Structure 1
Amino acid sequence: MTDVRVAHTADLSAADLAAVRDLLVAAFDGDYSDEDWDHTIGGVHALAWSGDVLVGHAAVVQRRFLYQGRALRTGYVEGVAVHAGHRRLGLGAAVMAPVERVIRAAYDLGALSSSELGIPFYEARGWQRWQGPTSALTPDGTERTADDDGGVYVLPVTPVDLGHPITCDWRDGDVW
């Protein structure tokens, strides 16, 4: 039996956080940096446990996106992973459902950057590909992030036109 627990980073123990990081490093085949970790903490986590083993995780952290002259409070999804031995059992949906509930209740927009493998999963859950150009508000001003065009997915809470430009706030590492 799998138990899904929802908690803010501040309410997770050091052991919980270590289990999350270990799961993410394993799930991303070691391609998970300190900056990726920094992006994952500081928000609300959904953790799927099978006994005392963490088998699934997703988090939502607050960001600000610029869209048509206004700042949108954005719930950005990070660290979505399921243990290799527990995939295709509904655990991805089990950890995404509470994250999406938080987005719908507390944010103007949900957003994430997806790998090609994740796209069918997110689209089936109602996430939509952002069609317009992407940029980032960097320390040097607004800079286009053309390499990220087509890889950003949103869960609109307030109406948005997916064809308009969107700009994310700055952070170290991958901005999207």
Structure 2
Amino acid sequence: MTEVRTAHTADLGDGELKAIRALLDAAFEGDFSDTDWDHTLGGVHALVWDGDELIGHGSVVQRRLLHAGRALRTGYLEGVAVRADRRRQGHGAAVLEALERVVHQAYDLGALSTSDDAAGFYAARGWQRWQGPTCVLAPSGIERTEEDDGSTYVLPASVTPDVTGVLVCDWRDGDVW
């Protein structure tokens, strides 16, 4: 029987953190870096357990996105994955349901960056593809991130953005989106 648990990073034990990292390394087939791992930490995690096996994970961390003259408190999804042999069984939806509850209760907006393969999953849940230009507030100022145009999705919470406008994310090491 599966169980969904939510917990802040500070409340996860070493064994749980190791299980999350192992799941993400396997799910992203070796394309999950230490910087990606760092982005996943510091927020609320949703974990799907089947007995003592972790089969699904996602986290929501706080970021600031600039849009229409405002700095929006944003719940940014990171490290969303389901073990390959357990996909298409509702586990990803269970992870998202838990994380979306956090976004709706604690943030102005939800956001994430996704692959083309997973875009339909998010769109079916009400996430909207950002249609306007994306940028980052880099140490040298605002810079365009054309390579991220079309892969950014938002979930309106207390703010409904104009998805055709400019969206600027805060700076961080590694992938900024």
| Structure-2-length-normalised TM-score | 0.98
Deviations 1:88-135 (Å, cap 9, x if unpaired)?
110000111010000001101100001111011001100000011000
Structure 2 equivalent of residue 156 of structure 1: 156
**Unmatched runs of 5 consecutive residues or more in structure 2:** none
| 1:1-176 equivalent positions in 2, closer than 5 A | 1-157=1-157, 158-176=159-177
Inter-partner Cα distance in structure 1 for 2:85 and 2:119: 21
**Unmatched runs of 5 consecutive residues or more in structure 1:** none
Shift of 1:140: 1.1
| Structure-1-length-normalised TM-score | 0.99
Inter-partner Cα distance in structure 1 for 2:118 and 2:102: 20
Inter-partner Cα distance in structure 2 for 1:137 and 1:6: 31
Letter in 1 for 2:92: G
Deviations 1:17-67 (Å, cap 9, x if unpaired)?
000000000000000000000000000000000110100001000000011
RMSD, matched Cα: 0.5
Inter-partner Cα distance in structure 1 for 2:141 and 2:31: 29
Shift of 1:159: 1.7
Inter-partner Cα distance in structure 2 for 1:33 and 1:57: 16
**What is the percent sequence identity of the aligned residues?**
65
Deviation above 4 Å: which 4+ runs of structure 1? none
Inter-partner Cα distance in structure 2 for 1:114 and 1:87: 17
Inter-partner Cα distance in structure 1 for 2:50 and 2:155: 29
Number of aligned positions between the proteins? 176
